[in-house]
Each structure stands twice: as structure tokens, then as C-alpha cells.
Structure 1
Amino acid sequence: MSLREKAISGAKWSAASMISIVSVQFLQVAILAHLLRPGELGLASMVSLVTTLADMFLDMGLSTAIVQRKNVAANELSSLYWLNVLFGAVLGGLLLAGSGLAAWFFSEPELKALVGLAALMFFVSPHGLLYQSLMARELMFDMLSKIEVASSMVLFITTLVAALRGYGAYSPVIGALTAAVCRVVLLNLNGRKLHKPGLRLRFSETRSYLSFGVFQAMDSMVNYLNVNFGGIVAGRALGAATLGGYNLALNCAVNFPARLNPFFTRVLFPVFSIIQDDIAKLRQNYYKLTGFIAMFNFPLVFGLMVVAPDFVVCMFGEKWLWATPVLRVLCLVGAFRCIGNPVASLMMATANIRVSFWFNLTKTTAMLPAIIVGAYLGGALGVAISLLTVEAMMLLPMYRFMLKRVLGPSFGEFCNACFVPLRMTIPMVASVLVVSELLDASSMGHVLKLVTEVTLGAVVFGVTFLLDRSLLCAEIRGIVFKMVRKAALRHGLQ
């Protein structure tokens, strides 16, 4: 199988798993929004902020370094395995010790017990990280996808049962801990075929990986602040209930679309690593990837922006309707973020992680004061507007200091990768906007109105996609039609 065929096959499996996982996660969030009180949902969001921060340092970028390296010795893998376990134990201990500090920072005493329970995940998760990296390195995305789907189902079922039994803010933590155990067991059952770690830990064998991984971990830390600092400020300054609504909007407009993108970037990272010395091929594939991601994300985020009021009422309930303006602004943030999403894979694959780190640090430095000012002047909406302002301002510098450095002068290709999906989304947005103004939710109900808007948007975008003559759409249509033909032949159809 050629590298292209492996990439397409990997993308197919990753797409299926990511769509399944994000669908389950969205359903979980929607159910919790109805079952939990706003304050309880805010507490769960605070726990997520704390554990996500710790997770940035779980393996110090070692997993990424393993995939990026062309050759890794067996003794190095053993040392890396136990180093991951060591990092996890240290992080888990720090979370247990610092749970009181988190409770003080957010002025929520109950947060101490919640963070202490969540800390147990860091004693479990590292035992699967090496196997996940090795399976990604071997492009075994079919098995990884099955493991991720199984873990997400365990997470959903456990969380739902705990919520129904009245565990409140503890429900997502219980679900996450159970899912972590499931994931580690499945990764060990399948990953040990690739490597069985011995009882060996030599820091000298991990030094070169850490030199790469430290910057990757620092870059992830900066990205964490880019994504989550608004939530930190909202939780600290505005309280748990406001944080709950802000996080609902952030998840729908930014986080959930971003979680779908790895079915492109996760597969293309090892591919980029293989072709990193061929700049022309690297540039061609990178901008193709950017166009694919924008084509996938733009209809979601711009469509959500138009139907936001009906969406919020149907999915989360009228008690969250106040978050609709926040959701609309964050949809624009999600559009900018999807354009920059593939940059991380490109910079890691070409060993330019330090450039990525310094750029993201500059972006974060500009974002932090903007968010603080936005929160105190405009509440949750002010935070969202601040995020949007910084994202828009940093788009051209991202091209100038990152893409041009690695891919060479290619501004026309960069603009084309963004413009074609935007051009195709405009007819969909215009038609849904007109129909949304004509329909009356009070007479037909929010559910029927939302179904009508979504159906119309899907039809208009589908027709536009089929008729568009751009090379990007032609290639996507070719891939889709080829997959359909193969599926038809497997089932004996012509």
C-alpha cells in the first residue's frame, strides 16, 4: 500500500472514530446541561481546566517525539515507557497536593475533592501512551480508532449513570476515570505486540527525546492558555454558573470542531514527517490539508452561528439562552482556529517546534490582558470578543513567521485554501439566514425550526459542493466517490 493510500485509509478510520467520539461527547454535554444545575456544570468545567493543564505535561512531548523520529531503539522505548509513568505519578501527586489551591483560586471549596479524584487518572493514563505512539507511528489508525470509540462509550455510559444517580459535578470525573482505565487496558492488549518494555530507565537514552519534547510540551502549554484562559478568567471573575454557560458555547463553537480535525492532522503528522525534506510536496499537501479542514469546519461553525438561538434552546434548554451571543462570537473564533489547526503538525514534523512555541507565546502574551479586560468590561461576551480580536490579528503573522519559514513564499496558496471553503459556505449561510427570519419559533416550535434550518443548509451546501469547479472540491469528490465505489463493490453492487 502506498503512503497516499495509507494516509487515506488512516483518515477514513480516524474520521469514523472522531465523528463518533465527538457525537457522543456532544450528546453527553447536552444531557448534563439538562441534568446538572448551572453551578454543578461550572464545577465540572473547573475540574476540566485543571486536569487539562496537567495533561499538557503528562509525557513532556515524548509521544510526539517517538512518532517524529525515523528510528527508535528498543532499549530507548523501555526507558521512555517508565519515564512516562514517572511523569504521571509526579503530576498525580502534585494535583492531590494542590487541590486545595485550585479550590481557593476559584473560591469553590468542593473543588478540592473533585480535583483529588481526577488526579487518579494521572497514575493510570501513562501506561498506554507509548503504545498509542507506536501504533500511530505504524499508521495503525483502524485499531486506535476502535479503542477511542470504545473508551468514549464507556465515558458516556458511566457519566450518564452517575448523573442520573445524583452525583452532580462528580459524574464527569467518574466517567473520565473509568474511561482512562478502559483505554489503557485496550492499548496494552494491542500495543504490546509492537514492544514489551523491560525494567529499564536510563535518562541518557531519553535526553534527545526530551530536548524535542520539552518544547512541544511548552508549546502545548501555551496553546492551552490560548484555548482555556478565557474559561479560567470567567470561572475566577464571574463564577461557576457563568463558566458553565461559557464552556457550553466554547465546546460547541471551538472545541468540538477542533476535536474532529485530528482525523486529518493525526494521520498527516507521520506523513509530513516522512516527506519533510521534500518542500514542494510538503507545501502541496499542507495547503490541501488546510483546505480540507476548512471545507469541513466552515459549514459547521458558520451554520451554527446562524441557528444559535434555536440550537441552544433545543440542545441545552432555555436556562442557557443567555449564552447565545457568546456562542455566535465563538463560532468566528472557531473558524479562525480551524485555519491554524494544521500548523502544529507541520511544525512538529519539520522539527520547528521552537518557532511554533515562540509564536504561540507571543500570541498568548497579547491574549491574556485582552481577555482580562474583556471579562471585567463585558462578562462572558467580552471574553469571547477579546478571543476573536486576537485570533483575527494573528492570522497574517502566522503565515509570515511560520508557514513562509517552512514552506517558502506561498501566500496565494494560503489564501486559496481559505477562500474556496468560505466561498462555498456563503450561499448556505445566506439561505438559512433568510429562512430563519421568515420562520416563527413561537408558532412552529424551536425543534421544527432548527430541523428546517439544518436541512436547508445541508441541501444548499451539498449542491454548491457538487457544482463547484475548484481543484479542492474535485479532489474531495474524487476521494468520496472512490470510497463509495469500493463500498458498493464489497457489497456486490455495481
Structure 2
Amino acid sequence: MTFSPGKATTRNVFWAYLSFASTKALNLVAIILVARYVDPVEFGLMAICLAIMGYFEIISQFGLGAALISAPDREEETANAVFICAMVISSTMAILLWALSGPIAQFYGSPALQDLLTVIAAALVIRALTTVQSSLLFRELRLRDKIVPDVVRGLTKGLVSIVLAILGYGVWALALGYLASAVAGSIALAIVRPWRPTGLPSVAMIRHVMRFGAHLIGAETINSTPRLLDNLLVGKFLGPAALGIYALAFRIPELGIKSFTTVAGSVLHPVMSKIQADPAELRIYFYQSLRYCALIMFGIGAAIAVLSGPLVHVLYSPKWYDMVVPMQIIAVAFAISTLNMVPGKLLKAVSRTDLLFRVSLINLPLFVGVIALAVPHGIEAVAAAQLVLAFVRFVPTFHALKRVMDINVTDTLRALGPALLCTGTATIATLVSLQLVEGAELTRLLTGAATFSIFYLTMLRFTVPEVFEAGSRVVLRRRRT
């Protein structure tokens, strides 16, 4: 059967997004409930832990999963090499984090951080046990099978956190929920996609996967800096309470936008890897991916931005209302990240992680400088720094992509045009409707959401009619069956 990139992408993005979004939705529900029992200071302490863990997780993963996904042949030997490298690197990172937990706690002036980091560091090793299983599901484009482990992970984290928060465990409700989700998710993943090492890989294969990951790990570490360094600096200079509000402002944008970015990227990478030998087809697929990802992400980002006020007032208690403006800015920044996600996945697919690393080195001084300048001005300024960086980082990425594929500014803008038109129209209409509607926040939220949906879908019908035609064909096929 001929491989169809479009069908493979649509099918697997649907299942992957359903899986990922269901997990994030469960987490969001849990956070909304936990936030009633846990203070911003405690959320801030956990945010510091997660930011530190973010760097350690990137290093422990070392791009090994991507090496297995991109491998053109010798799958089993590559999988064995990935498993051994994952266990060695993750164990080393866990031990290092245990050793550094004391100095980190002293740096932030919070003794509780030492115990928190010591406990959640175990998640590095737990997740490494199923690195191969997770990567094989992506390589085989079996994203439908990820739903069970992802839902198990989300349910476990939510239930443990909620119960412990009600019992008065404070920040430990979040930490133990995090660790429990790692254990439950790994067990479920091992059941869904069984795999075990079949032998020792050659030294050459170990060198290959390590070399593949070396550039990728550098690029991912640097590219994660805007999202992780901001938490570390806010926690240090503005305090855990400010960080708690700032971190919670990310939750809804992460569910609506970042989850799609993660899911779409995880599907685009293996699909692009399968067609990398055909430059013409790869170019067409790139622009199609950019077009449709922008249609989804720009729309969701704009909707969250314009509706964040009534949304926060409906879901959270007054102690969290300061998150509204940061959430608006973060939602737009996440939407703009489309411009970097799609090119990045293409460079991975063609094994040009060296270019990703070079781009990241160019961006690093800018990341650190902009965020450091923003921190003294509060969490709204830090959120604005994220938006600035989302735009700026696209420039070197675009130039790097031009080295491996024939792309230009005109075609790129043409691909983004429908998303900009639909989003702009729906945003203006929604802002007007919110000004005209008075009364309860829930009423304003529902009215705004309905207005945005109607105007966005109407513009989509005229600018990208093939989306509706494809939807109609799917519905007709379902009725016939």
C-alpha cells in the first residue's frame, strides 16, 4: 500500500491529540480543584522543581527517542542502544540531581526544595525504562495506542494530587502526584507496547545514537530556556508566590496550544522521515503542515487570549486573578511557536540536528538577555518576553531551513495567510461582543466563545473550503458504514 503523508498525519494527529489533550484536560481539572487547597507559594515551589527537572529530563533523554524514530534500518539494534544509553544517562542525571538538591534549596532559601527534588528525581529513571516503547509507537505511527497510558498517567496524577491536597499535604500533593503519574504511565506503556532488550548493541551503534542526540540535546536544552529559565528567575527574584501565579497562567494555554504543538510535532517528525528522500514531496508537505497547524494554533491562541478574563473568573478563586494578563500574552506566544515547531521537525527528519544546534547557539544570548531584563518588571513583563522571543527565534530557524529545502518568504506568508485572516476577524468580533455583554462572567464567557467560533468557522469556510469538503466526505463515509 502506498504511504500517504496527508492521511497518516491527519489520522495520527487526531489520536495523538486526543491522547495528549485528555491527559492535559484531566490535569487541568485536577489543578483547578487543587488550587482551592494549595496556595500560590506552594505552586511556586513545585514550579521551581519542574523547571529544574525540565533541564535534567532533556539531558537524560539525550535525543535518543528521536534517533530511533529517524533510524532508516536496523531498528532492533538501535532500540537496544537507545535503551542502554537512556538508562545510563537518566541514572546519572538522577544521582546528580540528588547531589545538587541541597545547594539548590540554599540558593532559593527554601529547605523544602531539597526533599522535593530528591523524591521527584526518581521520575527520570522511571521514564527511561519505557523510552524505547514510547519511541516505537511514534515510529510505527500507532498514536491511537498511546491513549491508554496517557489517560492512566493523567488520572493517576489528578487523583493522587486532589486527595492529598484535600488531606492538607500542600506542595507534596503536587510532588507525589507527579511521581505517581510517572510510575503508572510507564507500567501502562509497557503493557500497550511490549518490548524488551534482545542483546547488546555494537559500539558503533551506541556512538551513532549518541552522536545523533548530541546536537539535538544542545538545541533542545537551549530552546527550552525561555520556558524554564523564566521560572527559575521569577522564583528567585520575585518569589514563589509570584511564580505560582505565573506558572498557573500557563496551564490553559498549554492544554489548548502547547499540547497540539507537542502532538503535531511528534507526528510530523516520523511522517517527514518517511518522505525525506523526495525533496519535492517534502516541500509540499512542509507548507501544508505550516498552513494547517497555523489555522489550528492561531485560532486557539487568539480564543484563549480574548476569553482569558471571564475564563479565569469562572474557574479560579480571586487569589489567582492576577494570572489573566500573563495568560493572554502567553497564549499568543504559544500560537506563534508554530513558526518554529514545523521547521524544527523537518530538520530533525532529515537528520540536520547540527543546524538546530547552531540556531540555538545563536538564540541563547538573546533568550537569557531578554528574560533577565524582563524579570525585575514583574510576571507580565516576563510573559511579554516570551512573546518577543517567539517572533525573533524564527529568523535563524528560517535561514537554517533554507539550507536543506527550497523555501521563501512569499510562500511562507501565503501558507500563514488563511490563519491570520480567520483569527483576526474572529478576534475583533469577540472583543466587540464582550464589550456589549454585561452580567455574569459565565454568560460573557459563553457569548464570547460562541462569537469566536461562528466568525472563525465562517471565515474558514471561505478561505480554506477544502477543510469543510474533507469533513463532509468523512461524515458521508461514516453514514454509509
**Structure 2 length normalisation: TM-score?**
0.94
1-structure distance, mates of 2:473, 2:161: 39
Unpaired runs of 5+ in structure 1? Answer: none
Show CA shifts across 1:383-420 (max 9, x none): 12222223333333432x12322221322221122221
Query: Cα distance 1:292–1:35, how it changes in 2: closer, same or farther (>3 A)?
Result: farther
Match of 1:458 in 2: 453
1:256 positional shift: 4.7
Q: Is the 8 A contact 1:254 1:333 kept in 2?
A: no
1:53-452 maps to which residues of 2 (within 5 A)? 53-192=55-194, 195-198=195-198, 200=200, 203-253=203-253, 256-376=256-376, 378-399=377-398, 401-440=399-438, 444-452=439-447
Where does structure 2 lack aligned partners over 5 or more consecutive residues? Answer: none
* Residue aligned with 2:72, SS: coil
Cα distance change on mapping 1:386 and 1:15 into 2, 3 Å:
closer
Q: Distance in 2 between matches of 1:428 and 1:380?
A: 28
Residue 13 (structure 1) aligned with residue 15 (structure 2)? yes
**How has the CA–CA distance of structure 1 residues 190 and 384 changed in structure 2, closer, same or farther, with 3 Å as cutoff?**
closer
Q: Distance in 1 between matches of 2:212 and 2:60?
A: 15
- 1:72–1:256 Cα change, 3 Å: farther
Deviations 1:315-366, CA, capped at 9 Å, x for gaps: 2222122232222222331222122221221110011111111112222211
TM-fit CA distance, 1:130: 0.7
Q: Which residue identity does 1:457 align to in structure 2?
A: F
How many Å apart are 1:64 and its aligned residue? Answer: 0.4
Counterpart residue type for residue 416 of structure 1: R
Moved more, 249-258 or 216-225: 249-258
**Does the C-alpha gap of structure 1 residues 159 and 297 become closer, same or farther in structure 2, counting only changes over 3 Å?**
same
**Alpha carbons 2:16, 2:147 under 8 Å: kept:** yes
C-alpha contact (below 8 Å) 1:67/1:137 kept by paired residues: yes
**Structure 1 residues 253 and 279 mapped into 2: Cα distance closer, same or farther (>3 Å)?**
same
Q: Secondary structure of the equivalent of 2:402?
A: helix
Q: 1:340 to 1:475 in 2, by over 3 A?
A: farther
Structure 1 CA distance for aligned equivalents of residues 385 and 82 of structure 2: 40
Contact conserved, 1:312 with 1:318, CA < 8 A, in 2? no
**Measured at CA, do residues 478 and 2 of structure 1 come closer, stay the same or move farther in structure 2, by a change above 3 Å?**
farther
Contact 2:24 2:255 in 1 (8 A): no
Query: For residue 417 of structure 1, what is the amino acid of its counterpart?
Result: A
* Residues 254 and 11 of structure 1, relative CA distance in 2, 3 Å threshold: closer
- Counterparts of 1:186 and 1:64, CA distance in 2: 21
- In the TM superposition, residue 201 of structure 1 has moved relative to its aligned partner by 6.0
1:303 and 1:202 mapped to 2: Cα distance? 51
TM-score normalised to the size of structure 1?
A: 0.92
1:196-221 CA distance string (max 9 Å, x none):
31363654431011101111111111
RMSD: 2.0
**In 1, distance between residues paired with 2:163 and 2:480?**
42
